[in-house]
Structure 1
Amino acid sequence: MPVDKSTRAASIDRMGDVMREFMARAVLFQDAVARFGGINSTDMQAVGLLMSQGPATPGELAERTGLTAGGAITAVIDRLERAGYVTRERDVADRRRVIVTAVPETVMAKVGPIYGRVGARWAEYLETLTDEQIEFANELLARAAELNREETEALRRA
């Protein structure tokens, strides 16, 4: 049976509201986690990118985070190194390059329990869903992340 157009429009409007709420809550959650871990949100995101995408040169990390102005990335790396979240080492293949690497033990000690608790709560909820619902949710969130990445890049170019 086809969905009534007014019901569909209302559902689409609600999706916009839900996504705005989700994104706001995600940003606020990440900020709270960062503060709990003794760093700021930007620095926490830099650590997260190093954890998920691997070690990087300062220039590569600047590109990943969008912190390309002046010495902004150097200040981030300095703060993270002081807090024990990252190490800076010379590249063994090219001594002129510096490689920044996340310290997983520090990340896990300082904020791991928070993410573990949230992960456990999500796992509990996901157990109530069908395989098809989980696949749809994965697709929806992956597409939302891709759209956010694309729009972030467009804003940086503007």
Structure 2
Amino acid sequence: MSSSHSHQFNEIIEALGRKMQEMSTATVIFHQKIAEKLGLNPTDHKCLDLILKNKYMTAGELAQVTGLTTGAITGVIDRLEKKELVKRDKDPNDRRKIVVVANEEKVSNEVSPLFESIGNEMSKLYRQYSEDELNIILDFVSKSVEIVEKEADK
């Protein structure tokens, strides 16, 4: 590797690091604005996202995944329930347990439309890349998520 090549390489790595930080900040701000439109805070919004992805979760599972106390999670669930975005229900596998289930109809009517525009714009962006490039990007993003999740657990 020539010295000019390694200098360019280091500049690209630095620029990528800065852009990743900008992406993180832009994402947090985007979700803050979505949460505000829904009358929620970002934590409530992200917990709703987790419940949707998992179909249902116990308060304990939510606390474990988010790192929030069970008391804080109770507040999250109460606020989401008040907005009729989730409901508490009996666990289908263990009737003694209570799970939190998303109100999918209300979510698809009120939450999903807020993501339609960004979904369309991101799809346009993806189509600008070849299949090979998309596989590299997918690999990079997947590994980035793993690193952030591991670091969050520290």
TM interval, shorter chain, is: over 0.9
Say whether 1:40 aligns with 2:18.
no
Please give the per-residue CA displacement for 1:34-84, whole angstroms capped at 9, x wherever unaligned. Answer: 11112110000001111112311110011111112x511101000000111
Please give the per-residue CA displacement for 1:73-128, whole angstroms capped at 9, x wherever unaligned. Answer: 10100000011111101224433210111122222222211211111111112111
Q: TM-score, normalised by structure 2?
A: 0.93
RMSD over aligned Cα atoms? 1.6
2:64: which partner in 1? 63
Whole-angstrom CA distance in 1 between matches of 2:96 and 2:67: 23
- Secondary structure of the 1:100 match is strand
Q: How does 1:2-81 map to 2 (within 5 A)?
A: 4-68=5-69, 70-81=70-81
Please list every run of 5 or more consecutive structure 1 residues that lacks an aligned counterpart in the other structure: none
- Over 3 Å counting, the alpha-carbon distance change for 1:95 and 1:115 in structure 2 is same
Q: TM-score, normalised by structure 1?
A: 0.90
Runs (4 or more) in structure 1 with deviation over 3 Å come to none
| Number of aligned residue pairs | 153
Please give the per-residue CA displacement for 1:118-145, whole angstroms capped at 9, x wherever unaligned. Answer: 1111111211111111111111111111
Whole-angstrom CA distance in 2 between matches of 1:137 and 1:105: 33
Whole-angstrom CA distance in 2 between matches of 1:111 and 1:90: 25
**Would the aligned equivalents of 1:55 and 1:101 in 2 still touch at CA under 8 Å?**
yes
Please list every run of 5 or more consecutive structure 2 residues that lacks an aligned counterpart in the other structure: none
Whole-angstrom CA distance in 1 between matches of 2:19 and 2:57: 35
Whole-angstrom CA distance in 2 between matches of 1:75 and 1:152: 22
**Would the aligned equivalents of 1:36 and 1:111 in 2 still touch at CA under 8 Å?**
no
Between 1:17-26 and 1:128-137, the stretch displaced more is: 128-137
Whole-angstrom CA distance in 1 between matches of 2:131 and 2:90: 46
1:153: which partner in 2? 153
